[in-house]
Structure 1
Amino acid sequence: MNIKKMCQMQKILDERIVKEHKLEGKDLEENKVLALLVEISELANETRCFKHWSTKGPSEDHVLLEEYVDSLHFFLSIANNYEYNIDHLLTIYASDFKQDVKEITLVSAFISVTEKIMTMHSKKDAFHFIDAFASYMDLGTMLGFSWEDIEQAYVRKNEINHQRQDNGY
C-alpha cells in the first residue's frame, strides 16, 4: 500500500475543502476525530457484529470496504495535520504494534479502536496515533481486506469525494 501517495491525495482533498468552504484558519481537528468515530461506527453497523438480536448477516464486502476507507480518509487527514511520517508509521506498525487479530472478536476490535482514537485525541502524539492506526489496520485485516484492496478503494473514494465537491456536496 502506498500510504505516502494516499496522504498526498488526502492533503489535496483537504486543502480543496478548506478553500472552497472558507475554513482557512479554523481548527478542524475535533471535527475530524468525530467524523472518524462516526465512520467507524457506520462500519460496525454494516458488519452487524454486535447485533446479537438479529439473524441478518453483514453487508457485502464491497460495502464494508467502502465504509472502511471512509474512516481511512480521516486517519490520513489527522496524520497530515500533525505531519507524521506515514512510511515510518507503517514500519513501526508492522514491527511493534501488530496484534494477533485471531484472539479478539470483531466487537472487541471495534471497541478497542474507538478507545484508542479517544486516547489519540486527548494525548495528541505520534505514539498514540500509531496505536490507534494499528488497531484500525488490524480491524481491516479481521475484515479480510488486503492492503491492495484498501488502497484501490481509497483512490476510488477520493475521486468520488472530489466529484462531490464539484457538485456542491
Structure 2
Amino acid sequence: MQLGKLFEMQRALDNHIEDKHGLQNEDLFDRKVLALLVEIGELANETRCFKFWSVKPSSTKEVVLEEFVDGVHFILSLGIECGFETEQIDMNDEESLLNVTEQFLFVYERISVFQKSKGLADYKQVISSYLHLASLLGLTSEEIERAYFHKNEVNYQRQQNNY
C-alpha cells in the first residue's frame, strides 16, 4: 500500500475542508475520533457480523469496502492531526485469533486508548488492528488503495457540492 501517497492525499483533503469551513484554528481531534467510531459502526452494520437475530447476509464486498475506506480516511486524518510522519508507520498486519465481531470490538478499544494517549505506538495499534479487520473481511491492500483513491475524489466532489 502506498501509505505516503495516501497520507499526502488525505492531508490535501483535510486542508481543503478546513479552509472551506474556516476550521484552521480548531482542534478537530475528538470530532475525528467520533467520526471514525461512527464509520466503523457503519462498517459493522454492513457486515452484519453481530446480528445474531437475522439471517440476512452481509452487504456486497463493494459496499463493505467503501465503508472500510471511510474509516481509512479518518485514521489517516488522525495521524496527520498528531503529526505522525509516514516513515514512522509500519503497515504490517497483526495476527489474531479473534473473529470479526471480536475484532471490531478490539478496534474500538484501540481507538479509545489512542484517543487518550495520542501516542505513536497506540496509533500504530489502531492501524494494525484495522488492517487485521480488513483481512478478516477479505479485503486486500490493493482493493483498499483503489477504493481510497476513488472515495477521495468523491469527497472532493461532495465539498464542491456543499455536502
TM range (shorter): over 0.9
Q: What's 1:113 paired with?
A: 107
Q: Secondary structure at the match of 1:72?
A: helix
Compute the displacement of 1:5 (Å): 0.4
Q: What's 2:131 paired with?
A: 137
Give me the whole-angstrom Cα distance separating, in 1, the residues matched to 2:95 and 2:103.
11
Compute the displacement of 1:100 (Å): 2.4
- How many percent of aligned residue pairs carry the same amino acid? 42
Q: Secondary structure at the match of 2:51?
A: coil
Q: What's 1:60 paired with?
A: 60
Q: What's 2:162 paired with?
A: 168
Q: Secondary structure at the match of 2:89?
A: helix
Compute the displacement of 1:131 (Å): 0.8
Give me the whole-angstrom Cα distance separating, in 2, the residues matched to 1:120 and 1:86.
17
Amino acid at match of 2:95: D
Residue-by-residue CA offset, 1:47-105 (whole Å, 9 max, x unaligned): 00000000001000000000000000000001111221224312xx42xxx4324x211
For residue 151 of structure 2, the aligned residue among 145, 154, 157 is 157
Amino acid at match of 1:76: L
Give me the whole-angstrom Cα distance separating, in 2, the residues matched to 1:88 and 1:13.
21
Query: Which moved further from structure 2: 44-53 or 78-87?
Result: 78-87
Give 5+ residue unaligned stretches, structure 1. none
Whether 2:84 is the aligned partner of 1:100: answer no
Give 5+ residue unaligned stretches, structure 2. none
For these two proteins, the number of residue pairs brought into alignment is 163
Q: Which runs of 4+ in 1 moved over 3 A?
A: none
Residue-by-residue CA offset, 1:87-143 (whole Å, 9 max, x unaligned): 4312xx42xxx4324x21100000000010000000110000001110001001111
Amino acid at match of 1:51: K
Q: Secondary structure at the match of 1:24?
A: coil
Q: CA RMSD in A?
A: 1.0
Give me the whole-angstrom Cα distance separating, in 1, the residues matched to 2:89 and 2:7.
12
Give me the whole-angstrom Cα distance separating, in 2, the residues matched to 1:88 and 1:77.
15
TM-score under structure 1 length normalisation:
0.93
Residues 87, 146 of structure 1: CA spacing in aligned structure 2 closer, same or farther, 3 A cutoff? Answer: farther
Amino acid at match of 1:100: E
Q: What's 1:45 paired with?
A: 45
Amino acid at match of 1:108: E
Amino acid at match of 2:9: M
Amino acid at match of 1:119: V
TM-score under structure 2 length normalisation:
0.97
